[in-house]
Amino acid sequence: MPGYPPVILVCAHGRHDPCCAVRGLPVGRALGERWPEQVWECSHIGGDRFAANVVVAPDGVYYGGLDAKSAVATVED
């Protein structure tokens, strides 16, 4: 949406699949250090075998298989 920064959603829904929490929480922390006002942990967004998953809204860009080291560079690009 013009005039608003994107929102970065990180799946950290451990009840649906523990991998989402185990892999998503470090990614959420890394992204939150870079963009503290834009990163939100969220419920399951699908693709748990590709955890950690990130969705950038409103663009609808979906990233999977991220880790804390690659997440910031991937979203920046």
What pTM did the predictor assign? 0.87
13: tokens are 């829904």
Cα separation, 76 vs 72, whole angstroms: 6
- Provide the pLDDT for residue 45: 80
- Provide the pLDDT for residue 12: 86
70: tokens are 């690659």
7-72: in CATH 3.40.30.10: yes
DSSP symbol at 50:
G
Domain range summary for the chain, segments of one domain joined by +:
7-72
What is the DSSP pairing of strand 7-11 with strand 54-57?
antiparallel
pLDDT tens-place values along the chain, 77 residues long: 577 889 999 988 777 678 888 889 999 999 999 999 999 998 878 776 778 899 999 988 999 999 999 999 999 98
> Contact, 67 vs 27, CB < 8 A?
yes
